[in-house]
Structure 1
């Protein structure tokens, strides 16, 4: 069996065996038997009920979110990791997958240490707790390594043991119940260094078992049905147990005994041996549940190939896909924790990891709901985006209130892993809500933009550049990219002459080629391919139809015809584009550099003849100079005058324009009776020259061509600009 294939055969468990029982046994575990009395003694009954209620609110909200996503997708192995990665994307999924795996592996250590605490009371003095914990961890590892089927079967026996031990406690507590003692234990009695939040942090791992069923998702007969029903039933059942247990503990023994005796439940129970049996059963079952869940999480992460070093852990056994390599990894982590820490140290760390996981799971469901993606159709109907948002916010606040330092550490870890995965070339072939979220945000913004009053201050370059087949006019692509690199939108248009019925397949393939070239060149651009009877009709069609609402091209970038025959057709195109209210930039470039992206030396010269075209020319020059590769170039604002006595006035006017526009540049006034000669002489070493133009009248295309050629001469790079307005330099 390959590491990339999910299990298609093997264990298939029902709601009772695969979800309810693992959840209940994980929730009713070591904290309940060995630390809940301490929580009640420190916090008092009332605050303990508050701790239980707050914990259950978070887990209920998370379970609702879990149920919504679980019934909206084909659920495979990986539990919360699978759901988060398929919603928030592989970056968040991978980050939280590692944290969740670590939390589950540490949970194994926590339950084994809890078992050891109870067991040492019945072993000879001097017995090494570390040795007992190690032997126990090895036995748990061996049970899970044999297979999940065998482990699931013995959980029913363990559940029966836990229920019998609870009955023994309740009967004993009922016999010893004293209402006056309960009154004394209602209020808190925190020792130094303890508070509501330290008790919350200690208790919260007890309720994190809601993921025990989801972690077995790859082994369930019907995950979409079993996970909501089994998890909610387990949450409700254990809520009743903890709430009633808090009251019975407070009414049956003193505060000092609650705080100082970890086995206080055994002293209260009518049959103390049953409590010992329950402790052993609950702690071992919780350890088994975590030892089963953690490997399946990391196996799912490994199979998605998010981390190269983890890929060997994705392998499963040939017979039933059991993640035995991942089980071994979980055992090693839990054993390291057994050597390094105790129960009170591990519990808060697990709390942070679980809260981060729950918070992101709630956030994923929230985003799924608000994007209104048609594919989000959960069969579970009792979840709403407000509940998911409340769950996410609640998890974040509780993390900060428990220990803001560890909360920051957890956030930094998620951010670091997310950043690492963002820089990695992930080939994740599943969909996530990022595109849906972007679509919904874009839709809202477009509708809002449609209602906004336009102001010249908000003008941005939305350029439609006709790059030709396979970037046959690369200078247009490069120039358009320089203009729009930071603030604008670039669309690369291509016209296929002919009939649509004959060229539909070619149109689709050319659009894919154009898109691939955009990606290859790392351009921030969009492809647009149209089939039309001829080039002019295609350009006019794209100019009219490209864009959406107010977000449509305001500037058309074209190549300049170099023959008079082509200019006769081109002149009519210029008039039509002007009639459509679009600005036009005609790029005349006769030099052929070795590399189209090479930056020519020299200034950017704008030849001013008035505001009609001048404002757009200055703004385009400023946009080019704002590109990182152009920042060491200089803008020159120039004007030709025929008399020397007007130099000072014109110079002052040009400087005032730049100052008013808040654009850095130099000004120069050239005195000449021959503007063409002055322009060619002054700008012969310029990197780019921007000149204003006016489309030719019908029948005057030949004259326009020769006049333009005479004006431009041998200048290698010239942009002829016709402005449709819509911007002001002083805005």
Structure 2
């Protein structure tokens, strides 16, 4: 992401308050083309009762969404971009980017919908022009574009004039409808009269775009003097006022005209009016104002989206013009999209598509607020107090449910579309330069899971490897973190640890540098691991410190992975260290790889070719030399976990044992087969009959193995050298061995 992110740029001088910047554009967009040209059809087919339910359902969803919108808007400094800005700063760059495209498209297509509605009304009023539908619509689109291109300030002033016309038109309708009240029509129109396969949900889909204007004010967020106050107050007031208008209209339309006329006469509101010219002017004014509102909102969404540089190809549209930072380049693109829709679409076809796009936007806005609330993030402190996680969840479920009830095919396509955008943005690994709630969601899940894990009774069958790997800086003994990754990937956890010899007061900066080195190594090698660095005078003190302090609750390390001494001079200190680990009841894994003994020449260098070498999967079997359950259970589980990695699946596990005579071979082999069956681990049992020393048998039988697992016991004090020499003799020239001393705690059955 560029440093030119939208939230780091000035949005220009603030100009508009609640009434001018939020209430007026919201009201004019809500009381638009659907009210004048399609609401009569909704009432005629649905009936008064169902029409009221449709209005209430639509208003319930938009009210719940506005509560969520208000909570987020009062919890952060809102800048340009409206819903895109709010969602991206909460749910993250992936959802934000997907919504940016979707919401911009919905707003741009809405311009076409409103202009088509205007043109229908114009053609009804002036039939002689009906043959020039596309030409008229294109001209209106051009005029709308020019108005917005000049600037938002001039457009807002035009909307005051339009609001006055709209009020006069509604007054004319109410006067005429009340005068024509007929109880017969009221009785007939209480119930539904659906035609041509229509139903409640198709009527809801037709009506819902009428209430999507709740975002008109939020889309102007960059031009508001006080967005956190103006957006909640202005939007909720617009919802309340327009709800009263629609509910009263549903009743009066059903009382004043028969169902057939309501269904077939798109200008029934004009015919009811006592001043038809006022309705004509109102239709023209409402559709134009809605088109103006969408034409103003869509470019501002695209401008904010482009400035975040989620897609570098769109950065061209992030530029602003003049002191008020007008998004003129984005306005040109909005005009072009609207023009294409005017040429290709019609009002009834466009409305359901816009419904889906707005529903997804509203659903994600509710979801963002829901997650903000349930994660209990200390930074979530909205001054708007009337939003709760239950209302946000209800809004999310309502949006999703209505999408599928209206049209499951379009709903599925829309969700797949936004899912594909989310995946594409995520796959590009774009880093957002703003905080979002994803880390808060993860933290809350982890917190609750840790607390639950702490109270759950532990059972050995649930044992997982939680490994602390002592590997220096990573690349000096790179086989240790790599094999630790293979043993824990997808099943356990690994901490990559390093002990710095010295005092913390003298080596604080060095400690931070080593931790950064480990983080870089983990990131470069794509390990699933956490870094841990400690400063102690002695290595043993450092290991003890790491053992006692690392992890939390049930996620404390249960296994330590470290390297086998390179020579006898280090055997005594090594024995003391593993004795300390054993006293702390941790299992011990120590790796003896002949190949790493030439790696010290690369220690501290930037050449990590030895790392690449250790990522190569060796050919051969995974040999487990069985000497009993004491260490055998852990060795079997480790072999199984290693074999579960995709690269190791072609390396079969051999369960091996030595017997001294042929008579015992079949019985021991049967025992090994039963071990594999009872542990549900696929093994190849192999019994070797020999009286030769164990070192010779192991060297010969496992000469072609990819890795060999041998058990050992931590030595008593003074027995360190004896252990070292015995295990070295057993290992011989085998290139890769894993010595295992189990502390127990796991079960094969």
Q: TM-score, normalised by structure 1?
A: 0.97
Structure 1, 175-184 or 344-353: larger mean CA deviation = 175-184
In the alignment, does 2:639 pair up with 1:621?
A: yes
In the alignment, does 2:32 pair up with 1:29?
A: yes
In the alignment, does 2:712 pair up with 1:693?
A: yes
- Aligned residue in 1 for 2:177: 173
- Aligned residue in 1 for 2:619: 601
1:713 deviates by 2.0
1:640 deviates by 2.1
1:278 deviates by 0.8
- Aligned residue in 2 for 1:82: 85
In the alignment, does 2:297 pair up with 1:293?
A: yes
In the alignment, the residues of structure 2 paired with residue 342 and residue 204 of structure 1 have an alpha-carbon distance, to the nearest angstrom, of 16
Residues 641 and 673 in structure 1, CA contact (< 8 A), matched pair in contact too? no
Return closer, same or farther for 1:661/1:470 CA change in 2, 3 Å cut-off: closer
Output aligned runs, 1:562-577, within 5 Å.
Answer: 562-577=566-581
Q: 1:73 aligns with which of 66, 71, 76?
A: 76
1:2 deviates by 6.8
Q: 1:61 aligns with which of 59, 64, 73?
A: 64
- Aligned residue in 2 for 1:13: 16
- Aligned residue in 2 for 1:416: 420
Residues 11 and 148 in structure 1, CA contact (< 8 A), matched pair in contact too? no
How big is each residue's C-alpha offset from its partner over 1:180-226, in whole Å with a ceiling of 9 and x where there is no partner? 33222222111222211111111111100000000011111111111
In the alignment, the residues of structure 2 paired with residue 518 and residue 550 of structure 1 have an alpha-carbon distance, to the nearest angstrom, of 23
Return closer, same or farther for 1:2/1:643 CA change in 2, 3 Å cut-off: closer
- Aligned residue in 1 for 2:49: 46
Structure 1, 323-332 or 175-184: larger mean CA deviation = 175-184
Structure 1, 118-127 or 537-546: larger mean CA deviation = 118-127
Residues 473 and 517 in structure 2, CA contact (< 8 A), matched pair in contact too? no
User: How many aligned positions are there?
Assistant: 730
In the alignment, the residues of structure 1 paired with residue 272 and residue 656 of structure 2 have an alpha-carbon distance, to the nearest angstrom, of 97
Q: 1:513 aligns with which of 494, 501, 517?
A: 517
How big is each residue's C-alpha offset from its partner over 1:518-570, in whole Å with a ceiling of 9 and x where there is no partner? 01111111111111111111111111221111111111001111333322122
Q: Secondary structure at the match of 2:588?
A: strand
- Aligned residue in 2 for 1:639: 657
- Aligned residue in 2 for 1:654: 672
1:282 deviates by 0.7
Return closer, same or farther for 1:203/1:124 CA change in 2, 3 Å cut-off: closer
1:178 deviates by 2.5
1:442 deviates by 1.0
Residues 3 and 316 in structure 1, CA contact (< 8 A), matched pair in contact too? no
- Aligned residue in 2 for 1:135: 139
In the alignment, the residues of structure 2 paired with residue 643 and residue 192 of structure 1 have an alpha-carbon distance, to the nearest angstrom, of 89
Q: Secondary structure at the match of 1:550?
A: helix
1:378 deviates by 0.8
In the alignment, the residues of structure 1 paired with residue 303 and residue 585 of structure 2 have an alpha-carbon distance, to the nearest angstrom, of 59
In the alignment, the residues of structure 2 paired with residue 562 and residue 663 of structure 1 have an alpha-carbon distance, to the nearest angstrom, of 33
In the alignment, the residues of structure 1 paired with residue 578 and residue 382 of structure 2 have an alpha-carbon distance, to the nearest angstrom, of 53
Residues 29 and 286 in structure 2, CA contact (< 8 A), matched pair in contact too? yes
Q: 1:266 aligns with which of 261, 265, 270?
A: 270
Residues 624 and 636 in structure 2, CA contact (< 8 A), matched pair in contact too? yes
Output aligned runs, 1:294-309, within 5 Å.
Answer: 294-309=298-313
- Aligned residue in 1 for 2:535: 531
Return closer, same or farther for 1:182/1:273 CA change in 2, 3 Å cut-off: same
1:649 deviates by 1.8
Q: 1:335 aligns with which of 329, 339, 353?
A: 339
Residues 220 and 300 in structure 2, CA contact (< 8 A), matched pair in contact too? yes
Return closer, same or farther for 1:146/1:184 CA change in 2, 3 Å cut-off: same
Q: Secondary structure at the match of 1:156?
A: helix
Q: 2:371 aligns with which of 367, 390, 413?
A: 367
Q: Secondary structure at the match of 2:407?
A: helix
In the alignment, the residues of structure 1 paired with residue 393 and residue 4 of structure 2 have an alpha-carbon distance, to the nearest angstrom, of 39
In the alignment, the residues of structure 1 paired with residue 592 and residue 197 of structure 2 have an alpha-carbon distance, to the nearest angstrom, of 77
Return closer, same or farther for 1:560/1:269 CA change in 2, 3 Å cut-off: same
In the alignment, the residues of structure 2 paired with residue 363 and residue 3 of structure 1 have an alpha-carbon distance, to the nearest angstrom, of 24
Residues 467 and 493 in structure 2, CA contact (< 8 A), matched pair in contact too? yes
Structure 1, 699-708 or 610-619: larger mean CA deviation = 699-708
1:684 deviates by 2.5
- Aligned residue in 2 for 1:94: 97
- Aligned residue in 1 for 2:746: 727
- Aligned residue in 2 for 1:426: 430
In the alignment, the residues of structure 2 paired with residue 368 and residue 11 of structure 1 have an alpha-carbon distance, to the nearest angstrom, of 28
How big is each residue's C-alpha offset from its partner over 1:700-720, in whole Å with a ceiling of 9 and x where there is no partner? 222222222222222221111
In the alignment, the residues of structure 1 paired with residue 63 and residue 127 of structure 2 have an alpha-carbon distance, to the nearest angstrom, of 43
In the alignment, does 2:107 pair up with 1:104?
A: yes
- Aligned residue in 2 for 1:704: 723
In the alignment, the residues of structure 2 paired with residue 728 and residue 415 of structure 1 have an alpha-carbon distance, to the nearest angstrom, of 42
Residues 3 and 314 in structure 1, CA contact (< 8 A), matched pair in contact too? no
In the alignment, the residues of structure 1 paired with residue 23 and residue 196 of structure 2 have an alpha-carbon distance, to the nearest angstrom, of 39
Residues 7 and 320 in structure 1, CA contact (< 8 A), matched pair in contact too? no
Output aligned runs, 1:570-589, within 5 Å.
Answer: 570-589=574-593
Output aligned runs, 1:88-237, within 5 Å.
Answer: 88-123=91-126, 125-126=128-129, 127-237=131-241
Q: Secondary structure at the match of 2:197?
A: coil
How big is each residue's C-alpha offset from its partner over 1:261-298, in whole Å with a ceiling of 9 and x where there is no partner? 21112221121111111111111000000000011111
How big is each residue's C-alpha offset from its partner over 1:58-96, in whole Å with a ceiling of 9 and x where there is no partner? 000000000011111111111111111111111111112
In the alignment, the residues of structure 1 paired with residue 722 and residue 354 of structure 2 have an alpha-carbon distance, to the nearest angstrom, of 81
In the alignment, the residues of structure 2 paired with residue 6 and residue 180 of structure 1 have an alpha-carbon distance, to the nearest angstrom, of 61
Q: 2:683 aligns with which of 665, 670, 677?
A: 665
Residues 4 and 307 in structure 2, CA contact (< 8 A), matched pair in contact too? no
1:101 deviates by 1.0
Residues 6 and 76 in structure 1, CA contact (< 8 A), matched pair in contact too? no
Residues 189 and 254 in structure 2, CA contact (< 8 A), matched pair in contact too? yes
Q: TM-score, normalised by structure 2?
A: 0.95
Structure 1, 393-402 or 309-318: larger mean CA deviation = 309-318
- Aligned residue in 1 for 2:319: 315
Q: Secondary structure at the match of 2:592?
A: strand
Q: Secondary structure at the match of 1:494?
A: strand
Q: Secondary structure at the match of 1:596?
A: helix
In the alignment, the residues of structure 2 paired with residue 462 and residue 710 of structure 1 have an alpha-carbon distance, to the nearest angstrom, of 30
1:694 deviates by 0.7
Name the Cα RMSD after superposition. 1.6
In the alignment, does 2:465 pair up with 1:461?
A: yes
